[in-house]
Amino acid sequence: MDDTYYEFGTPADRWDRAQLFFEAKEYLTAARILGGLVREMPEQVAPRLLLARAYYHSARLAKAEAELREVLERDPVEDYARLMLGRTLERQGRHVEAATHLRMAHAMTGDAGSEPSGQERHNQG
């Protein structure tokens, strides 16, 4: 891949830029920026979660699943990653496996009735 202007700048600049591309539904561009951030700062959860969301929305479900499993490897009680993993598995037709993660996410949040939207959960953190 050729470097482009949106891959330059400080990590904070790139994080802001990635969020703008994500909000504009330019998921592949957001993923490209976020991939670099995740490689630079693998311990950071927020870029990895947004990367997983970008992959999910661009139907790159195996990549979304891999990022979410990495988050859960590092932080098994990250309820939003658990919810997203459940939804990603559902979208792949893996309903039994998805149900386990969705139940765990609901148990962690104490919300047995409804699932918060991705934007709601992301804004709370």
Q: Using 50, 70 and 90 to split pLDDT, how confident is the model at 9?
A: confident
Res. 113: pLDDT tops 80: no
Q: Using 50, 70 and 90 to split pLDDT, how confident is the model at 5?
A: low
Compute the mean pLDDT over every residue in the chain, rounded to the nearest whole number.
87
Averaged pLDDT for residues 25-51: 95
- Residue 7's CB is within 10 A of a number of other CB atoms, namely 17
Structure confidence by residue, pLDDT tens digits, 62-108: 999 999 999 999 999 999 999 999 999 999 999 999 999 999 999 99
| Cα 60 → chain centroid | 12
What is d(CA 11, CA 98) in angstroms, rounded to the nearest whole number?
33
What is d(CA 47, CA 60) in angstroms, rounded to the nearest whole number?
17
Report CA torsion sign: 35, 115, 62, 30: negative
SS3 (DSSP) at 104:
helix
Q: Using 50, 70 and 90 to split pLDDT, how confident is the model at 110?
A: confident
What is the number of alpha carbons within 13 Å of residue 103 lying toward its C-beta?
6
Q: What would the two tokens of residue 120 be?
A: 């709601």
Amino acid at 105: A
Amino acid at 52: A
How high is the pLDDT of residue 3? 55
Q: Of all helices (H) and strands (E), which one includes residue 79?
A: helix 79-91
Smallest Cα–Cα separation from 83: which of 53, 54, 63, 62? 53
